[in-house]
Structure 1
Amino acid sequence: MKKIAVVGTVGIPACYGGFESLVENLTFYKSEEVTYTVFCSSKSYKSKLQEHNNAKLIYIPLNANGIQSVVYDIFSLFKCYFLKPDAILILGVSGCCFLPFLRLFSKAKVITNIDGLEWKRDKWGNFAKWFLKKSESIAVKNSDIVVTDNKAIEEYVDEEYGIRPVTIAYGGDHAIRNIKVQPSTDSYALGLCRIEPENNVEMILESFSKSEFNLKFIGNWNSSDFGIALKERYQKCHNIDLLDPIYDLNILYSIRKNCSVYLHGHSAGGTNPSLVEMMHFQVPILAYDCSFNRYSTDNMANYFSSSDDLIDIINSLDFDKLNANALSMFKIANEKYTWLNISEKYEQLF
């Protein structure tokens, strides 16, 4: 039996983002050949379980995100020395500056998922970008296996560092729920993401402000000056409904299930969890035109690269093409983006 320690997430039960959903489902679908120990942020859990999905949970009294994430990850890696796992699965590169020291006193194999070129994100300042790029370099050079979640990042790692990583995406079938949904009488497009510049939220809102097609957009509008400004500017548009984050999965499922088309504006990262989740709903995908999104959708979605592109698509919706798009997305999702398949691939690495 392989003992695996997981470092770099807020923790489980999943309550935050993509890496947390990954660990939630790795532990849920695990075979009898693997045991997991997952490091969790005590700051994020009022109720501190000892186990979840038969995984042992260890709490660190620090935030897993923001500036504290570096110390949080380093402290977790240090504690791995005493756990003596067979392998350490590191998710993200924040604390990987500690890896050269870890390798001096630990025999555990290191598998690092470097995430989606975090240092390129617009939200970081120059020092943070430099630090994350340096951490990425250290992670790649000091890991036994590097994991990427998208072929575009695989190619980047190969070209940048001369190392061929293993590409494993995310599952999305956990978003499908076994409940009946009352069909909507209205047609609407749906957007769902963190409200950040690289997700092209402004481009999408600007396009729909010039259209009569309805848009529901779910996001953390009040978490930044950028989001607040967008909300003030576009909430007055009669066809745009800006919704705060929805944590009730049944309500979210209903909104996703009833949408006519899904808008994916992410331009950074790799295989975005929100995209592969929506591919399981068999709805047409309009995605920002970048290599990450094209790889994720096998070049079979519809793509836009500007507000004008998106306006043209919206104003001349070809429902035969959109239906073909939806069927293709659903087929790809079931072939590539199911959690049982993803869990088996990670266990093969272990």
Structure 2
Amino acid sequence: MIYVSVIGIVGVPACYGGFESLVENLLDYIPFNVEYTIFCSKKNYSKTTQIYKGAKLKYINIKANGIWSILYDWISIIRSRNSDVLLILGVSGCSILPLVRIFYKGKIITNIDGLEWKRAKWKRMAKYFLHYSEKIAVKYSDVIIGDNAGITDYIDSKYKVSSKLIEYGSNHAKQNNSSEFAKEYLFCEKPYALTVCRIEPENNISDIIKAFESGGNPYPLVIVGNWNNSKYARELYLKYSSFNNIKLLSPIYDINRINFIRCHATVYIHGHSAGGTNPSLVEAMNLGLPVLAYDCIYNRNTTENEALYWRDSEELNKLLFEDLTKIALRMKEISNRRYKWEFIAKKYNKLFNF
């Protein structure tokens, strides 16, 4: 039996973001010779359980995000000293790896996520620490994973190592045409453009909204995001929440509810400029939505240059008037070929074997 400890997520059942959904779906494809232990933040779960989808759950009474994520990951790693494999998701806790390597004899596999230290939301000291943690992760891990060719090319070139490309699955995002949410979301009865993301500067939210600010678009805009999470987000909400053609919704973690909103959309607008293969993008592709993506290497890799791309609000506005039928078909074909959880799980499971 190979004992794998998963470090760096809020926990399962998934209630937060991309890494949580990754683990949630990996658990559907556990090999007979692998046993998972997953560390979860007790702060996020009112009810706890010892076993979930065949995996053991261990709880730490610390927040898993922000500055607390460092201590949260350190404790998780130290408590995993008897495991065969550490699967570390994100680099915030990797600064402890030089010490861990003194006593830990197992395999360390780290998915570095995006280039977190480049994100605009971090101040200078945070950027320095995250960049340092990235270097430590690469140096002391047996395997480095990137979920986008833009990430793996960067790692291979900068650190002169051979990283592994393992992308993100999307087929958990399923069509939901039931009438359960129809009365709650009446806007779904007519065409609309949709964005689902965290409200952060590098996701180009202000440019997306500006493309709809003056009206005259073929569709209204719906954005689902965390509008209370920062000053930047609150200012945008205060300025635009009263616009008739712009609807700003709070985060939605119910998969059936968000799938209902996504599958009724006419077009998906993706503004992320940092990171790798973004979950919300590949999920939209799996639902067969045409994609208008911010023009950067990560989004072009994910969509194989088959989406439509923009760099500012004016370019985005023009793209809204394009014929999007063929784009939708191409996005679905790419998703079927590349972003299935069965394929993703096999790649992870292969890494666990010594």
TM-score normalised by the chain length of structure 2? 0.94
Residue among 196, 201, 215 paired with 1:197: 201
| 1:179 to partner: Cα distance | 5.5
Secondary structure at the aligned position of 2:145 is classed as strand
Write the mapping of 1:125-140 to structure 2, written as runs, cut at 5 A: 125-140=123-138
Q: Could you tell me whether the CA contact under 8 Å between 2:175 and 2:263 is conserved in 1? A: no
Distance 1:97 1:246 in 2: 33
Match of 2:343 in 1: 341
Secondary structure at the aligned position of 2:287 is classed as coil
Q: Deviations over 1:167-223 (max 9, x none)?
A: 101111112156535694311100110111110000000111123331111111122
Unaligned runs of 5+ residues in structure 2 are: none
Residue among 181, 186, 207 paired with 2:190: 186
> Which piece of structure 1 moves more, 295-304 or 212-221?
212-221
Secondary structure at the aligned position of 1:175 is classed as coil
Distance 1:43 1:323 in 2: 44
Residue among 300, 323, 333 paired with 2:306: 300
> Which piece of structure 1 moves more, 238-247 or 292-301?
238-247
Aligned letter for 1:74? Answer: W
Secondary structure at the aligned position of 2:57 is classed as strand
Q: Deviations over 1:117-141 (max 9, x none)?
A: 0000111100000000000000001
Aligned letter for 1:194? Answer: R
Distance 1:185 1:36 in 2: 43
> Which piece of structure 1 moves more, 29-38 or 65-74?
29-38
RMSD between aligned residues: 1.3
Write the mapping of 1:270-289 to structure 2, written as runs, cut at 5 A: 270-289=276-295
| 1:287 to partner: Cα distance | 0.4
Match of 1:247 in 2: 253
> Which piece of structure 1 moves more, 165-174 or 250-259?
250-259
Match of 2:35 in 1: 35
TM-score normalised by the chain length of structure 1? 0.95
Match of 1:210 in 2: 214
Distance 1:150 1:247 in 2: 25
Match of 1:19 in 2: 19
Secondary structure at the aligned position of 2:134 is classed as helix
Unaligned runs of 5+ residues in structure 1 are: none
Q: 1:305 to 1:178 in 2, by over 3 A?
A: closer
> Which piece of structure 1 moves more, 217-226 or 190-199?
217-226
Write the mapping of 1:86-165 to structure 2, written as runs, cut at 5 A: 86-165=84-163
Distance 2:171 2:319 in 1: 28
Q: Could you tell me whether the CA contact under 8 Å between 2:206 and 2:236 is conserved in 1? A: yes
Q: Could you tell me whether the CA contact under 8 Å between 2:176 and 2:260 is conserved in 1? A: no
State the identity %.
49
Does residue 54 of structure 2 align to residue 54 of structure 1? yes
Match of 2:171 in 1: 173
Distance 2:281 2:349 in 1: 24
Q: Could you tell me whether the CA contact under 8 Å between 2:228 and 2:234 is conserved in 1? A: yes
Distance 2:341 2:30 in 1: 10
Secondary structure at the aligned position of 1:221 is classed as coil
| 1:250 to partner: Cα distance | 2.2
Distance 1:271 1:250 in 2: 22
Aligned letter for 2:316? Answer: L
Q: Could you tell me whether the CA contact under 8 Å between 1:211 and 1:311 is conserved in 2? A: no
| 1:34 to partner: Cα distance | 1.4
Distance 1:298 1:239 in 2: 31
Q: Could you tell me whether the CA contact under 8 Å between 1:195 and 1:221 is conserved in 2? A: yes
Match of 1:291 in 2: 297
> Which piece of structure 1 moves more, 109-118 or 183-192?
183-192
Distance 2:259 2:77 in 1: 37
Q: Deviations over 1:84-137 (max 9, x none)?
A: 222110001111111111111111100000110000011110000000000000
Aligned letter for 1:110? Answer: I
| 1:251 to partner: Cα distance | 2.3
| 1:33 to partner: Cα distance | 2.5
Q: Deviations over 1:8-67 (max 9, x none)?
A: 111111101001111111112222121100011111111111010100001111111111
Aligned letter for 1:331? Answer: E
Aligned letter for 1:206? Answer: K
